[in-house]
Amino acid sequence: MFNKTDPSFFDGEWNFEKTERAVIGLCKILNRYAHKLTLDDLRNDPRCSRIPDLSLDRIQEVIDDVEAKLQRGIQPIENEVIYNTGPHHDDIMLGIMPFINHQLRSPLNQVHFAIMTSGYHSVTNEFLLEALQDTLNYLHQGRIQMVLYPDFFESGYRFKQVKDIYHYLDNVARRDPDEMRRGFCHRILRDAVGLWQLKSMDDIETRFKMEIENLGKGQENSPEIQKLKGQIREFEEELVWAYAGTSLSHIHHLRLGFYSHSEDFPNRERDIDPILNQLRELKPTIITVAIDSEGLGPNTHYKVMQSIAEAIRLWNEEEDLNNLKIIGYRNVWSTFHPSEANLYVPVSLNAFAVFEKAFKDSYLTQVKAEFPNPDFDGPFSELAASIWVKQLKDIQLVLGKNYFYENNHPLVRATHGLIFLKCMNVGQFVSMADEMKSKM
């Protein structure tokens, strides 16, 4: 029901975003295509009636603007250095994977992924306990042979992480879950040897059995176990982007300290400088950021956004960033209204299929994750896909379904979902972050 106290319509000056929001809202209320709205429909709606110079021309202006947003979303992306950021592992994928597929199509782009936090909270004790047990079993069966190399416990464990990824994905293609699991346990073992500085098979046996017992008793996780859980999530992220051949050197795990110690957020040295230093090194031309206000999504999303905003503010004092684009995205926790977004990215059935399979094959800890939503019971990927489908349905009311299936462009004809994004310059992004902060 329309809320007459809605400040977005009754506070401040009227602007075109309000016009667009009002017209799209009326299309949804009446379940009627925009081109079929009448002047009486506009006059009888409490929001549309406030549009200045009210006429049917205003509807055409909204249609034209929505089409322009879609056209921007199908433009090829080339010769860019793109720094995709995510608060947690899987946030980038759940927010914009089909958009990233566009980025990865051109070898002229340098595409990076920066995950800002460890993410260990998302790994259950049961999952880690089973992983440690499986690793021991493969060792006992003689199926993890890297431990036999003479330098493995001194330095060898630090090498060939890329091989673990390739082994795992090779067996995704072969549909061999046992070999996929073995590849995963290879990575668990490498991380464990480095974490506890294990020096022999006896050390592995002793440490793993001790940790399995502690996990089984439900003891509080030690810092080392938290780190190992975070490394599991990092492996998952590497798998997802390796689907498209992304180099391991382009996936960055920042492990910002506020994730474990947030009482003094933000901390310049701990939370801001790691991002700033990477911006200085990579010099991105496009940065993607999860945009969630305090309370809309997990608190980590808001803190990461503010950390990135501060890093960009400081970088802007050193460099000319007039051409830098900041692209805000949302995922399963909140969504943009179509009037807030200024870039609509089409999602084809091919993109849906890759997205859902990559999620289920790669994010092992999340396939059965609990989701605090009484209206949805399933993996995060299915929820994200349902949001993209709904967003297309809203835009079909504005442009018409035939706009899509009769379109001259194959990407538009193949569209069965839409991702809403908000593209900003540095000033707009920093101002938005400041405004959010001022409302806390």
Q: What integer is the mean pLDDT of 3-30?
A: 84
Residue range 389-402: mean pLDDT, rounded: 98
Q: In what order do the strands lie in the sheet with 286-290?
A: 251-253, 110-115, 81-86, 286-290, 325-329, 415-424, 343-348
Give the end of a domain, one of 32, 52, 70: 70
For the chain, how many structural domains are there in total? 3
Clarify whether residues 219 and 167 are in a common domain. yes
Do 284 and 347 reside in the same domain of the chain? yes
Q: Which residues contact 327 (CB under 8 A, 6 or more apart)?
A: 286, 287, 288, 289, 343, 421, 422, 423, 424
Q: How confident is the model at residue 297 (pLDDT cuts 50, 70, 90)?
A: low
Looking at the chain, the whole-number percentage of residues with pLDDT higher than 90 is 83
In this structure, the answer to whether residues 271 and 337 fall within a common structural domain is yes
Is pLDDT of 311 > 60?
A: yes
Cis before 266? omega within 30: yes
Determine the distance from the C-alpha atom of residue 287 to the mean position of all C-alpha atoms in its chain, rounded to a whole number.
Answer: 13
pLDDT value of residue 262: 62
Which pLDDT does position 367 carry in this prediction?
Answer: 75
Q: Which residue has the higher pLDDT, 300 or 226?
A: 226
The SS3 call for residue 86 is strand
Asked if residue 339 belongs to a domain, the reply is: yes
Q: What does the block give as tokens for 394?
A: 């809203």
Cα 319 from Cα 236, distance rounded (Å): 34
- Reply yes or no on whether the pLDDT at 48 is more than 80: yes
Q: How far is CA 37 from the centre of its chain?
A: 37
Look at residue 7 in the predicted model and tell me its pLDDT. 59
Whether the predicted pLDDT of 11 surpasses 80: no
> Is 291's pLDDT higher than 50?
yes
Number of other residues whose CB lies within 10 A of the CB of residue 293: 16
Return mean pLDDT, the chain.
Answer: 92
Co-location of 431 and 324 in the same domain: yes
- Say whether both 52 and 83 belong to one domain: no
Query: CATH number for the domain including 394?
Result: 3.40.50.10320
- On the question of pLDDT at 241 being above 80, the answer is yes
Average the pLDDT over 164-182 and give the result: 97
The pLDDT-based confidence of 4 (bands split at 50, 70, 90) is very low
Q: Does residue 267 have a pLDDT over 50?
A: yes
- 11 with 84, same domain? no
Domain hosting 407: range is: 79-117+254-438
CA–CA dist 148, 425 (Å, integer)? 54
User: Is residue 308 exposed (0-12), middle (13-18) or buried (19+ Cβ within 10 Å)?
Assistant: buried
- Report the distance separating Cα 131 and Cα 184, nearest Å: 9
- Asked whether the predicted pLDDT for residue 427 surpasses 50, the reply is yes
pLDDT of residue 374: 55
- pLDDT for position 371: 54
3-state secondary structure 405-425: HCCCCHHHHCEEEEEEEEEEC
Claim to verify: residue 397 and residue 294 sit in the same structural domain? yes
Identify which of 226, 119, 100, 127 has the alpha carbon closest to the alpha carbon of residue 184. 127
Tell me the pTM: 0.93
